[in-house]
Structure 1
Amino acid sequence: MTGNPLKPPKQPLKTPKRQWSISDFDIGKPLGKGKFGRVYLAREIKSNYIVALKVVFKEQIEKYRLHHQLRREMEIQTGLRHPNVLRLYGWFHDDERIFLILEYAHGGELYKELRKLGNLSERKAATYIASLTQALAYCHEKHVIHRDIKPENLLLDHEGRLKIADFGWSVQSRSKRHTMCGTLDYLAPEMVENKAHDWAVDNWTLGVLCYEFLYGVPPFEAESQKDTFRRIMKVDLSFPSSPDICAEAKDLISRLLVKDSSKRLSLEKIMEHPWIVKNVNPVCPK
């Protein structure tokens, strides 16, 4: 495959009036593998635009009855336009596979950076939290709750800009929801207790992520699933002595990890918080 993925064309990929097909793309190296399919680097031949092509096998969709979930994911993500939300440009299918045409994030998963470094600096953590907060504010304005924010679902582009990806558990709704979904360490207490939930579950996850960015592990991690559930329900939160994190960062985390969802810090207040204001780099974290 030719083309420089570090310098994509300035114009975004245009969705043609005709139907996409696999012949419209040069397929490059694999970028990742999931339970239901794989992601490949690809180049749209006509425009030379570099994308990520997510290939989902219909057999897996049938087996796990994911038709509704996949359709909802595609409908939600296609309608979102924000610099910190990964674009879904379109999709097509053949007899065996469904192809999602996604924005290519050259930097890969934030999870890999976090595992490599162990933990992030306060400046970098604050910058990522601010970017994520702005993206979630945009999603919530459109009544979209992500419900599965975690480092594996946060990607970085070639400039280090954070992108929310994977809207598989997302829902677009003005009313409270009852489905328990997401990933264990990031679940809000109301989900663990099978109570109705709303957008505030995303705010809770911001607190979990902020803690994990700074300390390298999620705050309620335990040896068993039962113990993790118990710690989340009790909001059993403690701050290790190392690394040495400032009091303002701990204050932000403590005001997000609140059991009563109505008392969690709002996204607007997060952006005004002294730790965010003091640390956020308006360009990109280095």
Structure 2
Amino acid sequence: TGSNSSLFSGEYLTYLSGRYIEIKVYPLSFREFLEFKQYDTVNNLEQHYQQYIRSGSFPAVNLVEDENLIRTINQGLFDSIFSRDIISRGEIREIGGFYKVAKFVFDNIGNSLSTNKIANTLRSEGSKISHDTVDNYLMLMCDAYILYQCSRYDIRGKELLRTNGKYYIIDMGLRNQLIGYKSSNMGHDLENIVFLELIRRGYQVFVGKNGTAEIDFIAERSDTKMYIQVSLSVMDEQTKEREFKAFDKITDNYPKWLITMDRLDMSQNGILHKNVFDFLLEE
């Protein structure tokens, strides 16, 4: 239910092997956020969503209304998690280099990344950092439940790929605390929110590779599977064609969803178009 330096991802197995049931508790979903704030689930959803993205999803943040106090609480959460649970626990000495890696990943949520790409980019900017160091920093952030890695899955070959996965962040408020809020990130913010909602619902989530095409998410749970594309809008004809085309070479009959913020139903050829608020507010 919270950050604890002695109970990180995987470490509790040493203490509780064979004697535990793991129940992961995430920050507030969008639906829970609306209930927490006592907002209705019909009116002003776009406005509430922007508040959710800007302020973050930790309960403590959403118990207050004052913007300055919200920033103070988020800063306290950020300092506690990063200083104690990552930097101190990981015995990180090059703190400046660590924050450069964190900023790069936070600014590239939803983009395909590899440790080589991150290290090479930072070295081109003058940082002296190795691939192994980047890999260690990413692992520490994942162990602290700040980042979630979404591996690539080859749909044709039916195997996991080791390279160019994606990373998603547990809370936008923490991301904004480090790199600031950027309206240009709205598409990737939406993708991040959909990813978190899927893992809350118990799905294993992968990035799908289908030849040269890419599917944003393959979501699997028990015997069910879904293919999901996420886009801010597909009202532009070129964007619409690109998003639907990603499903073309998938030959099985599992559900295919396109999730956007558009209200107009664009469903076609067996592909279900869902408004993101309808998706997030489902029981």
TM range (shorter): under 0.3
Compute the TM-score of the two structures, normalised by the length of structure 2: 0.28
